[in-house]
Amino acid sequence: MGETMRFVLIGVVLVILVASLSIAASSKSIRIEAESGEQIGTQVSTNISGFSGTGYVTGFDKADDKVVMKVQAKAGLYEVRIRYSASNGEKGFELAVNGAKSSGMFAKTGAEFAAVYVGKVELQQGLNKIAIEKGWGWYDVDYVELTPAIASKKPQKLPETLADHKATPRTHALMSYLAGQYGSKTLSGQFDQSECEYIREVTGKTPAILGGDFMDYTPSRIARGANPNGLVEKLIKSAKAGQIITMCWHWNSPSGLLDTPANPWYSGFYTKATKFDIKTVLDNLNSDDYKMLISDIDAIAVQLKKFADADIPVLWRPLHEAEGGWFWWGAKGPESYIKLWKIMFDRLTNHHGLHNLIWVHNCVKQEWYPGDAYVDVVGVDAYPADTSDPLSGNWDDLIKRFDGKKLLAITEFGGVPDVAKMHRFGARWAFFVSWTGNMGPKKMDKEMLSKIYKAPLVVNQGDVKY
Ligand code: CA
C-alpha cells in the first residue's frame, strides 16, 4: 500500500468520523465539508473568507477534476444543498452520488459563499460516495449538506381554464386529460416521426406525443430554398392515428441574417447568426422589421390553422429556451421576450382566431414568466450527462411556483428519461419529449429504452384517451 493510498484511507476514516459527529449534532442534516473529501485535480484553499470548516475546494479547471466525499447514511431520499462560490458568473456542475449523476447550476455569487438547493439524491445504507465533478468548472465548493427528504405529495388539481378563454372543446379535452394523468403517470414523447419508428421497432410502443418544428416554414428560410416537405400534413395524419402533437419553432430571424460561412442563413435562429435586435424592433412598431416579425407569425398561423381545421389541439411551444440567450428572441432579456410572447399570443388567438393551442412556456427563471393569463404548461429542456437524472432540482423549484396552477413537463430531453426514478424522486413531470439523433432514443441502451417505454407509469399512444 503506497503513501497516497494510506492517506486516502485515513481521509475516509476522518470523513466518516466527521459525518457521524454531524449526525449526532443534528439528527436531520449531514454536512460534509468539501475540504475533508478527496481532491482529485482540485485543491483546498482559504483565500475567500466566510467558509465553513477549515477551507473550501477550488481548482475545478480540467476535465476530470473533482472532489469525492464519503458519508455513512441511512438508505433513502435526501435533499442536497451545496455551499459554493462562483465569483465570475453562473457555472454548471455535476453531482455524482454512488455513480448516479445529476447536473446543476451555481448562480453568480461574487467573492462570497452561497448555499443552493440542487435537488434530491438517493443514498444507500452505509457508505456513500458523493462527488462534485467539474461540469463548466471555475467555482469553489465549501460543503455539501444532506437532509432526509419528506415524501413528496402529488401535485394539486389544476384549474379547468386555459389561457385562451375561447379554446375549443377538443383542446379543453386534451388539457383535462393531461391534468388527469398529472402526478400519477407520465406521457412519453418524441420529436420526429422516424425516431418514433425506431422506438416502435425496439420497444413495440409508440410515443404518446409527437413533436415537430415549424423551422422550415419560416419565410426567411423558404426564400433561401428551405422545404418543409409537407411536415404539417404528415403530423396531422399521425394525430388522426392517435398521437398528441407538440410544435416548436426554430424561427430564423425575419431579417438581418449574417449568412457567413461561420453563421450560415440556416442557423438564423441563433443570436450570433443575425443582426435582428428584438428590443429595437419592439421599440419601433412602425419599422419594416416589426412588420416582417408579424408577417412571420402570420405565416406560421397558416400552418397552425391546418391543425385547427382538423380539430387537432397543439401543445404550442414558441420562443423556446429564451433565457439561455442563444436564440435571438431571448437575446435582449426577459422584457422583450415577454412583450413578444404577448404579441404572439394576441396575434394567434385574437387576430387569427386559433383556439386549438395549449400554450407551453419554456423558461425556468421567474423573471421570464409572461404571467398565468398567457401560459398553460411550464416546460424544462434538459440534456443531462446522465439520462437517469430526474431533474428533481428543477421540479422542486417549479412546483413551489406552479402547484395547482400550471402543468409541469420536460419539453426537450437528451435521451429518454428514467420515468420510474422520476416518480420515486417525486418529480412527477406530466410528459417528456426526447430530442433526436445522438441526443434521442438511439443514445439509449435498447434494453433500458424498452424498460422505460414498457413501465406501467408511462403512457404511450394506445393508452391515450381524450
Ligand atoms: Ca468548508
Of 62, 140, 129, the C-alpha closest to 106 is 140
Per the annotation, the verdict on 145 as an active-site residue is no
Residue 372 CA to chain centroid, in angstroms?
20
The CA 99 to ligand 1 mean position distance, Å, reads 23
Phi, then psi, of 425 in degrees rounded to 5? -85, 0
Q: Is the separation of the CB atoms in 245 and 210 below 8 Å?
A: yes
Cell numbers standing for residue 327 = 436564440
Q: Which of 321, 323, 367, 447 is catalytic?
A: 321
The predicted-structure confidence for 123-133, as pLDDT tens digits, reads as follows 999 999 999 99
CB 432 within 8 A of CB 154: no
Dihedral, 323, 326, 331, 336 alpha carbons, nearest 10: -50
**Span 245-265, average pLDDT:** 98
**70 vs 96: CA distance, rounded Å:** 12
Centre of ligand 1 from the C-alpha of residue 57, in Å? 7
- What was the pLDDT predicted at 1? 40
> What average pLDDT score do residues 378-389 get?
95
CA distance 432 to 223: 34
Q: Going from the N-terminus, what domains does the chain have, and what CATH number goes with each? A: 30-148 (2.60.120.260), 169-459 (3.20.20.80)
For the chain, how long is the longest CA-to-CA vector?
77
pLDDT above 60 (res 15) = no
pTM across the whole model: 0.89
* Distance, CA of 434 to CA of 438 (rounded, Å): 11
Task: For residue 123, report the distance from its CA to the centre of ligand 1, in Å.
Answer: 22
- What's the alpha-carbon Rg for the chain, to the nearest Å? 24
Query: Measured in angstroms, how far is the CA atom of residue 49 from the centroid of ligand 1?
Result: 11
Asked whether the predicted pLDDT for residue 178 surpasses 90, the reply is: yes
**Cα(426) to centroid(ligand 1), Å:** 30
348-364 pLDDT, tens digit each: 999 999 999 999 999 99
Phi and psi at residue 463, to the nearest 5°: -85, -15
Exposed e or buried b per residue across 311-326, where buried means at least 16 C-beta atoms within 10 angstroms of its C-beta: ebbbbbbbbbbbbeee
Beta strands 38-40 and 66-73: pairing type? antiparallel
The Å distance, Cα 126 to ligand 1 centre, comes to: 23
Residues above pLDDT 90, as percent of the chain: 92
Catalytic: 321? yes
CA 77 to ligand 1 center in whole angstroms? 23
pLDDT (tens digit per residue) in 321-345: 999 999 999 999 999 999 999 999 9
> Which member of 38, 145, 195, 412 is catalytic?
412
Q: How many CA atoms lie within 13 A of 50 on its CB side?
A: 13
pLDDT band at 109 (very low <50, low <70, confident <90, very high): very high
Distance CA 322, CA 270 (A): 11
